[in-house]
A and B are shown apart, each in its own frame.
Chain A
Amino acid sequence: MGLISLTTFFPVLGIVIILFISKKNLLAIKMVSIVFSFVPLVIASYMWLHYKYPMTGIDLESQFQFVEHFAWIPAFHIDYFVGLDGLSFPMFWLTTLLSFISLVASWNISKAQKGYFALFLLLETSMLGVFVSLDFFLFYVFWELMLLPMYFLIGIWGGPRREYAAIKFFLYTLAGSVLMLLVMLALYFNVKDPVTGSHTFNMLHMMHKSNQSAWLTTFDVRLWLYIALFIGFAIKVPIFPFHTWLPDAHVEAPTAVSVILAGILLKMGTYGLLRISYPIFPDIAKYTSYALAIFGVINILYGAFVAMAQKDLKKMVAYSSVSHMGFVLLGMAVFTTAGINGAVFQMFSHGLITAMLFLLVGVIYDRAHHREIAGFGGLGVRMPVYMGIASLAFFAAMGLPGMTGFIAEVMVFIGAFSVYRVLTIIAAFGIVITAAYMLWTMQRVFLGKLNPKYEHITDINGRELFTLIPLGALTIFFGIYPLPVLNMIKVPLNYLITLIH
């Protein structure tokens, strides 16, 4: 068994152990789940040290690293085919990191802990599986597998309207994935394995024009397949107007699940576009790029404006995610080196920053038991450490220099400005609005007169610091020295751009 499989399925081992622990033994359940999510982080970090930067990945198996490839269902040409390249590795590593941190942040879950931690570990496995799969069928199975734990995590441990939020999330995502299933099967029957001549689910084979049938090379067919696939991914991102599940899911989900939802799940949409849609339909990607850029700008502005209007702190953060994912879309749509690298770096950076924001919301919710922005005030006096870390996260989300968000957004703007000048200028207003609502929120929560209700509120505790400090440190570290990630993503992404041009 290779390192990828070990990382991916290690949490499953944890589930098995948790199932044998008595549900009274809470400490053991929590420790097992934390340990079994920490080990994947260690392995993934070890893999980073052994990552070979010059390999391109994208459409050649020989250019992927840590590859494991063997037949699974020969009769249907399904392989167990996993591997990593510069596009998937940052997300893979981020998943192991955020899963570990989320599990630590889940310490205070108050009911049915056994089920919670088992489902969370299942969620981690399925997310890792999505990022490592290079066989479309395998990808689809992991993609769908993610829905089950997510449904229960929101539905059982969520807030007051959890049932509605959970089923809405489930139905929206499933509607998207069935379209993906349709495209997957259409591709399967129209792509030939160059060696055996049989149909194949191998994504890399699908990317080569020479393997595609004549039918698949006609423009209309490609356009429709691309659109169907796009909707599937767009729901996940979520791209306006498919975003309505997101605020519900985020607000109702428990803190740790929100972290995963915003930190990892949203990125799967853009990851899917880059991993599958772009290399298989490069011509259509280019043809529709202007529309994607417009979607990106709408996301940036709409998300920011709606975030500003929110009264609920968590909803505000949720809409800020919609806004920030817009930068990813804009960067992806322009096919310049700076733009696409910025987009993927934004995926990584937003994963760190939004995770912090949601954790911070969780911290205050645990103490105040509400998230009404207007209900706070002057908390900085009583919670100075909390305010310090929150400022860091808010500034990072605003895109202040010295933090990852700045680098990502600047790269996106530089890349986009040369291609869509007007759109980029409009999008730049998003930064101003973001700064406005972030600062305004900070002012209302931390500054001003202390709300007497919170005279005795306690500052952030050690466990919470343990979850936040690594994220904050990484945000600054990669903000000052982004090369470890940029070097990793630039080779495959530049190759992807040449494929499209």
Chain B
Amino acid sequence: MSNLNSLQYFIPELFLIVAILVIIVVDLFLKKNKKIVSAYLAALTLVVTIFLAYQQYGYSPALLFKGMIVLDSFAIFFKIITALSTLIVIFISLPSFRTKAEYYVLLLIVTLGMFLMVEVNNLLMIIISMEMVGLISYVLVGFNKHDLKSSEASLKFMLYGATSTAVMAFGFSYIYGISGHLNLDVIQQSLIINQPQALPLFVAFMMVLAGLGYKIAMVPFHFWVPDVYEGAPTPITAFLSVGPKAAGLALLIRFLITLVAHPSAGNAANFIQNVSIHAPLLLAALAVATMTLGNLSALMQKNIKRMLGYSAIAHVGYMLMALVVFNNQGIIAVMFYIVVYLFMNFGAFCVVESLTDKLGSEKISAYTGLGYRAPFTAIAMAIFMFSLTGLPPFAGFIGKLYLFAAVINQSWYILALIGLLNSVISLYYYATVVKVMFLNRQENAPPLRVALYNKLLIGALLIPTLVLGLYWSPVINFTSRSIGFLFGK
């Protein structure tokens, strides 16, 4: 589709761009104590954007901007998810970021970047969109510039990010060299026709995995996670663990599906095996490494944000596990899991954010006796923890059930068993949080007042975590409807 014609299918992104510019201008005219208005505007923008994106479900899949961007229901689904995650982050940030309009503008720009990430069809666009998300994230992580930890986190994040992007770009150059094209769908056709040598393709594939793996915090490209998660402002930590991760996973799925999965050969895995990439086995090994390392490292954490950071790595491992099977069932499971994960992970971070100021510490030990000081918040936290473990009747269990079901249906029993045993390991550190809150008691500790706003927000995230554990038909129907790829099976 030509550039001009494409614009009508690009309305959510265009709206976002206009809104970003408007908010920047409006901010100039706001008095110091009225800056919060731009936060409200940003939230409103996202609500409208989600609505506009949802409208796009009506369109048939299409290539936009001469094949740069693809519009299909898979992309739309992830646009809604990423916008929703930014929206929740704005709500979490409202109490603590009251005077910085640029904070909210930056969040909107990241959202735009994530939108592009989930709909790219071009190697250069992949780099541009990922850098758009990356660069802004570095700024957001270092947003508390007088906080040493925050600055350190930002620098580490950037150094790792720059390196991995460079590696990925180098990998892209191999792919371009092999195929002579930049658009993913054309590359795939070229690969099928020319049957390239296995080794260069494998090397390129590994390099691309390094770049994408960094974005989704996959082992062994996860080293930035603990420091960045600990140093960044809590809302941004929460954001990094959901929004960009979801976008990264979407990009990974699209890359795998479009480039290596053969649309006509029926069974995608066959084609991948034929070109000797052994993608399923490779992904399985990475998934096992990611979840095991994430869980084992989380066991030893004393800081709750670090612990949640490692647990986020483990959750990526679970999701990668379901990608191993390369079929719709696995991808639907991942999409469903992201929805569930969004609520429970944001819920946990929201509790952390509500309590950090009151307790003056992010140590897990600071939560001692919280069940008796702030019962509602503590019970909510316990439910988020158990949901992250994957215990019924909470949403996390259903999410894991779908992941494991996808794996078991394709007879990857050992992989499923390792994943399940990982869940048992994870129980220990999630239960530690519950333990200090309820099983240990601080004598004569006064009740802790959590602001009503925070309670409402926690409650709003708690309800889906509970309801989706018992009745999830609407969500699974929604994800099943969103599995349409323009290219792929």
> Which A residues contact B (CB, under 8 angstroms)?
72-76, 112, 140-141, 144-145, 147-148, 151-152, 155-156, 162-163, 166-167, 170-171, 174-175, 178-179, 181-182, 185-186, 188-189
Contacts and interface: CB of A to CB of B under 8 A. Distances in A.
A144 B424 contact: no
Contacts of B65: none
B428 A144 contact: no
B408 interface: yes
A135 B56 CA distance: 39
Contacts of A75: 473, 476-477, 480
13 contacts: A147-B391, A152-B438, A156-B439, A163-B435, A167-B431, A170-B431, A174-B424, A178-B420, A178-B423, A181-B420, A182-B404, A185-B404, A185-B416
Contacts of B417: 182
A188 B397 CA distance: 17
A144 B439 contact: no
B438 A181 contact: no
B466 to A, nearest CB: 13
B391 A144 contact: yes
A175 B473 contact: no
A188 B431 contact: no
Nearest to B416: A182
Interface string B395-436: 001000100110011000100110011011001100100010
B interface SS class: helix
A163 B435 CA distance: 8
Contact of B439 (A73, A162, A178, A188): A162
B392 A175 contact: no
B41 to A, nearest CB: 39
B271 interface: no
B386 interface: yes
Interface residues of B, number: 31
Contact of A73 (B392, B423, B435, B472): B472
B435 A155 contact: yes
Interface string B466-489: 000001110011001000000000
Contacts of B160: none
Contacts of B424: 171, 174-175, 178
B431 A185 contact: no
Contact of B435 (A167, A188, A189): A167
B438 A156 contact: yes
Given A144-B392, A175-B421, A178-B424, A73 B416 contact: no
B91 interface: no
A179 to B, nearest CB: 7
A155 B405 CA distance: 33
Nearest to B404: A185
A171 B392 contact: no
A74 B477 CA distance: 10
Contacts of B427: 170-171, 174
B281 to A, nearest CB: 20
Contacts of B393: 141, 145
Nearest to B419: A178
A151 B431 contact: yes
B176 interface: no
B372 interface: yes
A123 to B, nearest CB: 14
B406 to A, nearest CB: 10
Nearest to A141: B392
A188 B402 CA distance: 12
Contacts of A140: 392
Contacts of A144: 391-392, 397
A162 B440 CA distance: 10
Contacts of A167: 428, 431, 435
Contacts of A145: 392-393
A234 B421 CA distance: 17
Contacts of B409: 185, 189
Contact of B473 (A73, A112, A162, A185): A73
A418 B237 CA distance: 67
Contacts of B401: 181, 185
Contact of B408 (A171, A179, A189): A189
A167 B439 CA distance: 11
A163 B439 contact: yes
Contacts of B391: 144, 147-148, 174
Interface string B41-63: 00000000000000000000000
A345 B409 CA distance: 39
